[in-house]
Amino acid sequence: MNRSRTSTAVGFRRFRIWLAALILLCQGMQGLDVRAQSLEERIRDQQEMTVESNEIPGWPAGPVVTAESAILIEAETGAILYAKNIHARQYPASTTKILTAYLTLKYCEDLDVTTTVSRNAADQAADSSVCGLKEGDVLRIRDLFYGMLLRSGNDAAIVIAEHISGSVEAFAELMNREAAMLGATQSHFVNPNGLPDPEHYTSVYDLYLMLAAAVKYETFVDAIHMDAYTASYRDAAGAAVQKTWENTNLYINGQAEAPDGIEIIGGKTGTTNDAGYCLALYSRKASGEELISIVLKADVRANLYLLMNEMLEKAGG
């Protein structure tokens, strides 16, 4: 009798997960909204957006949040626990570097191979997130990989792209092919670092697919879990250079605290005026289940982490 009840309960749970996934994946796909809005208008619009997972009968209600897209998924089963505009196209900012990191590990067999920083890679805007690389610097791919993920170096991402494909344009073509192979149907990329461009976009569901692929690599998981990384390399004149890059993820650098029963493994942040505040996160429940949670276009950084905690609390310890 107990075995029969257990089997029935498991079967019902699987049916609910299947039904939830079907409903969410059939939601309408939306384009990028590039209207100029005040902060007050953006917050109002974000709060009025439908939380699709709330429409599933018997499914736990999710929080009303000031972000345009969000998702929470069980990594192993793919069960969607929370969904808001999961197929809407959004600017990803530096969460783009998740895909760049995945391709680095897929196409670079030896991360200790060195490469030289080009003028193009070193030529970044003064207010851009960079590792501070100079033209002619010689670094290992490993150093660039950590600098890209922890410090969110736009310059490091370009060096990697040029090393793998010869140019940013060719690497963007590779990004689009590989994203399509992962099933990312609402994504298009034109650069490896996520700097704003009308033709550079993704969705939280597509980003989940990319992060799920990346965390299969132990090197990626190790990198996003580090609070800091020190790189030693040579400049164009052959002089020794040493730099330490700290993780921009507030959970990892100690500025944000996760809910009880949740261990933050790591993730990737992203911020631009067009993209708002973004975070893709990989975490683990006390029971051992792994979670992927993503927020795109939060209005302010504080709300980004507030929403992430609210979603993780819904998942339970």
Q: Taking the CA atoms of the chain, what radius of gyration do you get in angstroms?
A: 20
d(CA 119, CA 193): 16
94 catalytic per annotation: yes
7 catalytic per annotation: no
**In which residue ranges of the chain is CATH 3.40.710.10 found?**
93-201+219-245
d(CA 307, CA 219): 28
Catalytic one of 94, 129, 165, 293: 94
For the stretch 170-227, pLDDT in tens is 999 999 999 999 999 999 999 999 999 999 999 999 999 999 999 999 999 999 999 9
Q: Which residue in the block uniquely carries the two structure tokens 């060096």? A: 159
Note the pLDDT of residue 317: 54
Q: What percent of the chain has pLDDT over 70?
A: 79
232 catalytic per annotation: no
Q: At a CB cut-off of 8 Å and minimum separation 6, what does 81 contact?
A: 53, 72, 73, 74, 291, 311, 314, 315
User: Residue 234 pLDDT more than 50?
Assistant: yes
Catalytic one of 69, 118, 152, 203: 152
- CB distance 153 to 130 below 8 Å: yes
The pTM of this model reads 0.82
Q: At a CB cut-off of 8 Å and minimum separation 6, what does 196 contact?
A: 91, 93, 272, 273, 274, 275
219 three-state secondary structure: helix
Catalytic one of 53, 69, 84, 97: 97
For the stretch 115-144, pLDDT in tens is 999 999 999 987 899 999 999 999 999 999
Chosen CATH of 93-201+219-245 out of 3.50.50.60, 3.40.710.10, 3.40.50.300, 3.40.50.10420: 3.40.710.10
